[in-house]
Amino acid sequence: MSRILVTPRSLTASPGDGLAELEAAGFELVLSPPGRQPSEDELMQLVPGCTGWLAGVEPITPRVFAAADKLRVISRNGTGIDSIDLAAAKRRGVRVMTAAGANARSVAELAVAFMLMGLRHIPESTAAMKGGAWRRREGHELAGATVGIVGCGAVGRAVARIVGAFSAAVMAYDVAPDPSFRPSGDFAWRDLDSLVAESSIVSLHCPAEPGEAPLLDARRLARLPRGAGIVNTARASLVDEKALLAALDDGGVGWYATDVFDVEPPGLTPLIAHPGVIATPHIGAFTAEGGREAVRVAVANLIACLADSKSPAGAEAP
């Protein structure tokens, strides 16, 4: 019986119907410690003998690949692959699949919720009320905002459509812009520096390459209109944290909303403790609907690839 390693925290904490299809297909499931991200040493102990891997966001390093004696395919229950050493995967002949677009709506809705919270000061108003204080701050409408979307894939496009329905002006930057995508009349493609300089809200929806400099560094943060907000549901490394803290302190950045961190769980860092920061524990894709769809696509990818099918449901990493 072929073995499948299962490591996403949501699935190891509460295995559900999504994994039943793998068992029905005759696979033996090997689950990592429930509800937490496994360490490199734990992965090296779990992966031997496994032909498939239903993976989360845990780093999959060359040392882990060296222990994967029978591994043929890694199937992510999401779209990010920056935690996987693709060169090592290629050397070992391991296919890497993603659940492309499966949880795009879930992540996009959180990004827009962040925008509304930041514009209307909802977290601090709630905290004040719970502390017995009646403290009002004037906010802004999303309809009056210019939203700059960095990365216009499945999530970025969903965000563009939603904020366009709020009558916000929308700009987008992508390394491979699609001129045919125009979700609303008030939409334009921009280069990254122009987008940053013109956006009252910048929303990040692009991958981060290991070792690359932050996309929003001190120079670009200084180009933002004063008091602008930043939404990050992509990767923490896209933003220079030290420069961001300085910009929050001097008011150059009005607020920062993030669902992603370099280390998870991160503990109470200076960034999370900052009064201008809205933080959630990586819940962007963590909805019942998005989770079901992501697992469905990831499982379909595994079964198809291990059966040598030519048409898996998701997308293969380059």
Same domain, yes or no: 117 and 180: yes
Residue 268's CB is within 10 A of a number of other CB atoms, namely 9
Per residue in 213-234, pLDDT (tens digit) is 999 999 999 999 999 999 999 9
Same domain, yes or no: 243 and 187: yes
SS3 of residue 16 by DSSP: coil
**d(Cα 89, Cα 85) in Å, to the nearest integer?**
6
Overall number of domains in the chain: 2
Same domain, yes or no: 228 and 302: no
pLDDT in tens, the chain (318 residues): 799 999 998 899 888 777 899 999 999 999 999 989 999 999 999 999 999 999 998 999 999 999 999 999 999 998 888 899 999 999 999 999 999 889 999 999 999 999 999 999 999 999 999 999 999 999 999 999 999 999 999 999 999 999 999 999 999 999 999 999 999 889 999 999 999 999 999 999 998 877 789 999 999 999 999 999 999 999 999 999 999 999 999 999 999 999 999 998 999 999 999 999 999 999 998 898 998 899 999 999 999 999 874 455 566 766
Residue 99 CA, chain-centre distance (Å), reads 13
Q: Which of 274, 282, 292, 296 is catalytic?
A: 282
Say which CATH number the domain at 174 has: 3.40.50.720
SS3 of residue 7 by DSSP: coil
For residue 198, indicate whether it is catalytic.
Answer: no
Long-range CB contacts (within 8 A, 24+) of 56-61:
56/7, 56/8, 56/9, 56/10, 56/11, 57/8, 57/83, 57/264, 57/282, 58/7, 58/83, 59/83, 59/84, 60/84, 60/85, 60/88, 60/89, 61/85, 61/88
Same domain, yes or no: 255 and 159: yes
- Enter the tokens of residue 157: 């496009």
Q: Which of 190, 205, 220, 235 is catalytic?
A: 235
DSSP-derived pairing of the beta strands 228-232 and 253-258: parallel
Same domain, yes or no: 94 and 108: no
Per residue in 187-208, pLDDT (tens digit) is 999 999 999 999 999 999 998 8
Same domain, yes or no: 146 and 184: yes
The whole-model pTM stands at 0.84
Note down the domain range covering 162: 104-279
Same domain, yes or no: 304 and 261: no
Same domain, yes or no: 84 and 121: no
Same domain, yes or no: 169 and 39: no
- Enter the tokens of residue 172: 């987008």
The answer to whether the CB of 209 falls within 8 A of the CB of 187 is no
For residue 282, indicate whether it is catalytic.
Answer: yes
Locus of tokens 């004037």 = 138
- Enter the tokens of residue 91: 């050397």
Q: Which of 264, 274, 292, 296 is catalytic?
A: 264
End-to-end Cα, the chain, rounded Å: 30
- Enter the tokens of residue 266: 């991160």
Same domain, yes or no: 108 and 205: yes
The answer to whether the CB of 159 falls within 8 A of the CB of 182 is no
Q: What are the residues whose beta carbons fall under 8 Å from the beta carbon of 179, sequence distance 6 or more? A: 189
Same domain, yes or no: 146 and 91: no
Same domain, yes or no: 274 and 297: no
- Enter the tokens of residue 119: 């514009």
Sheet (strand 28-31) strand order: 28-31, 3-6, 50-55, 73-76, 95-98, 315-316
Residue 243 CA, chain-centre distance (Å), reads 22
